[in-house]
């Protein structure tokens, strides 16, 4: 059985080995985040209701396993969401550019090389445009 605790005059039981897997995984994630310096916030996840965690500058839901963006009153939701996606988009574009570069190194067909060169150019232009969005 789990440990008992007293909070506000009520006795509760902390779940022990009986805790179901659905509950224990997010709780373990939260505990791990706290051990590594994260802060538990008073706000709850709008999707699942679990407490949100501040990890560095990011806000994260351990239960949903996703980053949360909190929008202050009067801010544009779309622009904030876009700015939060930019680092991930850059990583994806760079990863694709590396993959295309490897294909170019192996390709001998001139038509295929031309298509790959066009794709490389498109990826590079996309990266350049992302730099301007900041």
Domain ranges of the chain: 20-68, 77-133
pTM, to two decimals: 0.43
Collapsing DSSP to helix, strand or coil, 42 comes out as: strand
Q: In this predicted model, what pLDDT tens digit does every residue of 18-52 receive, in sequence order?
A: 555 556 777 888 888 899 898 998 888 888 888 88
Q: 110-133 vs 77-106: helix axis angle to the nearest 10?
A: 150
């Amino acid at each position: 059985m789990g440990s008992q605790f007293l909070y506000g005059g009520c006795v509760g039981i902390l779940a022990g080995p009986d805790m179901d897997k659905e509950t224990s995984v997010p709780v373990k994630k939260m505990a791990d985040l706290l051990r590594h310096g994260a802060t538990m916030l008073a706000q709850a996840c709008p999707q699942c209701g679990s407490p949100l965690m501040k990890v560095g500058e990011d806000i994260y839901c351990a239960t949903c396993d996703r980053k949360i963006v909190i929008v202050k009153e009067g801010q544009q939701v779309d622009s904030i969401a876009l700015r939060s996606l930019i680092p991930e988009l850059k990583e994806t574009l760079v990863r694709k550019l590396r993959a295309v570069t490897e294909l170019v190194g192996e390709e001998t067909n001139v038509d295929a090389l031309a298509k790959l060169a066009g794709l490389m150019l498109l990826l590079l232009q996309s990266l350049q445009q992302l730099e301007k969005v900041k």
